[in-house]
Amino acid sequence: MLKHIKNLLLDKAIYIAFTITISIAILSFIKVPSEGLYVSSSDKVSHSIAYFFLTLSWLYTILKKDHFYSWVKYTIAGCFIYGTVIEVIQGAVTTYRTASYLDMVANSVGILLAILAFHMFEKKIRLI
């Protein structure tokens, strides 16, 4: 049963990764009403969670590629650059969003946690 689920997910992994990537972009640029909204450090937790799942989905997508470990560094760099570019565009293009170094740090924390989680479960994923 688990093998069938894994095969189904591997076939659809690229679609899941693209959906998460596009969702992060959309959520990064929509205007959120400021009435009754208090943004605290939970904003940084949201960034970490988003980039955790972004990185995890792309790592799972490339899992069966030849030379997996050389692809990992490009995936990690791509996720980091993606987050940096979104922050820069937020600061340059929008008037209702600001670029923040702390957001980039939170993005990086999410990426690092995804790398650790993926590494911890990689052997189990491959065995299924």
| Domain spans, the chain | 2-28+44-127
Return the pLDDT at 84: 95
- The tokens describing 109, both together, are 């924390």
Given a cut of 60, whether residue 14 has pLDDT beyond it is: yes
Q: What angle do CA 6, 12, 14 make, to 5 degrees?
A: 120
Q: Distance between CA 71 and CA 59 in Å, rounded?
A: 9
Return the pLDDT at 8: 64
Average pLDDT over residues 110-122: 92
Q: Distance between CA 2 and CA 128 in Å, rounded?
A: 7
Q: Distance between CA 107 and CA 101 in Å, rounded?
A: 10
If one compares 126 and 29, the residue with the highest pLDDT of the two is 29
Instruction: Report DSSP letters for 44-101, one per residue.
Output: HHHHHHHHHHHHHHHHHHTTTSTTHHHHHHHHHHHHHHHHHHHHHHHHHH-SS----H
Average pLDDT over residues 88-98: 87
Reported as a single tens digit per residue, the pLDDT across 39-76 is 555 788 999 999 999 999 999 888 877 788 888 999 99
Return the pLDDT at 9: 66
Give Cα separations from 110 to 18, 48, 83, 96 (angstroms): 18, 4, 11, 24
Average pLDDT over residues 25-45: 75
Return the pLDDT at 65: 75
Q: Distance between CA 65 and CA 100 in Å, rounded?
A: 35
Ranked by mean pLDDT, the top range of 3-7, 74-78, 98-102 is 74-78
Lowest mean pLDDT among 13-22, 23-32, 48-57, 79-88: 23-32
If one compares 115 and 126, the residue with the highest pLDDT of the two is 115
